[in-house]
Amino acid sequence: MPLTSRILIKARLTGVACLFLIGMAGSAVAQCGNGPAGFNAWLQRFRLQAASQGIRSGTVLAALSDVTYDPKVIRLDHSQRSFKLSFEQFYARRVNNAMIRHGRALMQRHRGLLDRIEQRFGVPGAVIVAIWGLETNYGANLGAHYSIIRSLATLSYDCRRSAFFTGQLLDALKIVQEGDLTPAQLRGGWAGEIGQTQFLPTPYIKYAVDFDGDGRKDLINSVPDVLASTANFLASHGWQRGAGWQPGSANYGVIAEWNKADVYDRTIAAMADQLTGR
């Protein structure tokens, strides 16, 4: 066979092999589904996807080996309803005098910590403590009824918001891989909220800091890590040191990055005022 013919045949075979490899790589991207029947097959494909994103096999095995579909999470996700409350109605439901007194006591107890956080990140303690109180009543109501990994795997598989929750699940695996929390410790809200100020995994990866110096970013158990990470989120979104936070201000716009609901943002601002005695 002439040399040119052998070269052409080799080139064609190489092209076929490349197409085959591309197809194999594409098959590693997990496809969404509806109902529990396809979940196990989806999970196998997701494991390949996680490996392609740099998640080590030991992490994948530890986090995903016993994961099952959670129909309750799907029911909660699909039954969400929008509601409209005035600021006054929302504030009255969420904040009371006892909560303000408790917040002021915590600000006194953690005065040194909050001063160090403000010095580093520029965010006043009252704003951080207001968020802490609104999210989990200062850590008392973590809502740790759900396995974060199981919830996120279920929501990633479901077609409603598959892409969003797949990113969250991959970042939850990174939290495990980095040694911050074990799969067993990753318990929280049904939609994947973690810890005392309810970080989702992606902002956890981006903004969590180890402020107590123990080598781990623990937003479930470490108050220094919780409060400093919350401040870091706000600072990273443009918080202006020394400025106010009332509606219309630049810092109020930063608070809106924490939560998109205006009544929630106004409640944070008003509660922070109450905590400072304004």
**Model pLDDT for residues 27-53, shown as the tens digit of each residue:** 445 689 999 999 999 999 999 999 999
Contacts 24+ apart (CB under 8 A), 76-83: 76/190, 76/191, 77/155, 77/158, 77/160, 77/161, 77/190, 77/191, 78/160
pTM of the model: 0.87
For the cut 60, the answer to whether the pLDDT of residue 198 exceeds it is yes
Q: For domain 87-142+195-276, say whether CATH 1.10.3720.10 is its number.
A: no
**Mean pLDDT value across residues 182-196:** 95
> At 22, is the pLDDT very low, low, confident or very high (cuts 50, 70, 90)?
very low
For the cut 60, the answer to whether the pLDDT of residue 133 exceeds it is yes
The reported pLDDT for the residue numbered 143 is 79
Structure tokens at 94: 């969420």
- Give Cα separations from 5 to 10, 93, 221 (angstroms): 9, 80, 68
Q: How far apart are CA 57 and CA 48, in angstroms?
A: 10
**Mean pLDDT value across residues 55-72:** 96
Cβ–Cβ under 8 Å, residues 198 and 135: yes
> At 13, is the pLDDT very low, low, confident or very high (cuts 50, 70, 90)?
very low
For the cut 90, the answer to whether the pLDDT of residue 4 exceeds it is no
Structure tokens at 238: 């443009």
Q: Comparing C-alpha atoms, which of 248, 179, 189, 249 is closest to residue 214?
A: 179
What is the tens place of the pLDDT at every residue in 238-252? 999 999 999 999 999
What is the tens place of the pLDDT at every residue in 80-123? 776 689 999 999 999 999 999 999 999 999 999 999 999 999 99
Average pLDDT, the chain: 90
**Mean pLDDT value across residues 143-161:** 94
| Low-confidence winner among 5-9, 76-80, 99-103, 201-205 (lowest mean pLDDT) | 5-9
For 237-256, the DSSP string reads: TT--TT---STTSHHHHHHH
**Mean pLDDT value across residues 257-271:** 96
Residues annotated as catalytic are 135
The answer for residues whose C-beta is within 8 angstroms of residue 97's C-beta and 6 or more apart is none
For the cut 50, the answer to whether the pLDDT of residue 229 exceeds it is yes
